[in-house]
Amino acid sequence: AQTVTQSQPEMSVQEAETVTLSCTYDTSESDYYLFWYKQPPSRQMILVIRQEAYKQQNATENRFSVNFQKAAKSFSLKISDSQLGDAAMYFCAYRRGNTGGFKTIFGAGTRLFVKA
Amino acid sequence: EAGVAQSPRYKIIEKRQSVAFWCNPISGHATLYWYQQILGQGPKLLIQFQNNGVVDDSQLPKDRFSAERLKGVDSTLKIQPAKLEDSAVYLCASSLAGDRGVSEAFFGQGTRLTVV
């Protein structure tokens, strides 16, 4: 069974600084997708960035980028130039790539605090 | 494009009572998910529908939880009778079906259930 592990329950970063959130996963599949979701106090999960496992290039979305290490099964999120609005829970998620279901499995989350 | 709609936002019930949650997915999204998110944890999939058929309900406590998706659009999740440990946020999400790579899940704002 696939699992997703986020080993940092909480992280803190100074405004305008860079922070990296860690995620590891376990799977025997070769075709899958990885996601980082942000969950602010409003509770709505918002997709931050996604990575297809077959792509070697790390995904980037503005201030957000990932370091995808497929062999190590590691998928970390880097937030550059942190802003107060980045404060939220961040969830790493895994989804199989084949048909028959697109169940997304989530890690336990990392709460990010941004200090002014 | 309208997002995933859920109601109610909050619900407080006594144990052994019944409760129902409603979800309206994004138009055209064939896949619908119900997740349970206990405080401090990541979302856990309860049930996944593809149109009006169940794809995965392996983690649904079927002795008390039920869900349906009539006509492959709206969905309701019911708990009867509720237990204290059912206190959680219930998230509904939807995604396109058959799209291997791009189809991430879009989430509603969830229903916070408190069982007293």
Q: What is the pLDDT of residues B56-81, one digit of tens each?
A: 898 999 999 999 998 889 999 999 99
Q: Round to whole Å and give the CA distance between A7 and A9.
A: 6
The alpha-carbon gap from B32 to the nearest alpha carbon of chain A, in Å, equals 10
| Contact flag B109-A44 (C-beta cutoff 8 Å) | yes
- pLDDT class for A65, splitting at 50, 70, 90? very high
Chain A residues near residue B95 by CB distance under 8 angstroms: 102
User: What residues contact A58, with CB distance under 8 A and at least 6 apart?
Assistant: A51, A65, A66, A67, A68
Burial track A11-46 (b if 16+ CB lie within 10 A, e otherwise): bebeeeeebebbbbbebeeeebbbbbbbbeeebbbe
- pLDDT class for B45, splitting at 50, 70, 90? very high
Structure tokens at B46: 């309860």
Chain A residues near residue B33 by CB distance under 8 angstroms: 103-104
User: What residues contact B67, with CB distance under 8 A and at least 6 apart?
Assistant: B34, B46, B47, B49, B57, B60, B75, B76, B77, B78
Omega into B8 within 30° of 0, i.e. cis?
yes
User: What residues contact A57, with CB distance under 8 A and at least 6 apart?
Assistant: none
Q: CA angle, corner B89, sides to A6 and B104, nearest 5?
A: 60
A98, closest residue in chain B (CA to CA)? B100
| pLDDT (tens digit per residue) in A28-47 | 888 889 999 999 988 889 99
| pLDDT (tens digit per residue) in A47-61 | 999 999 988 899 999
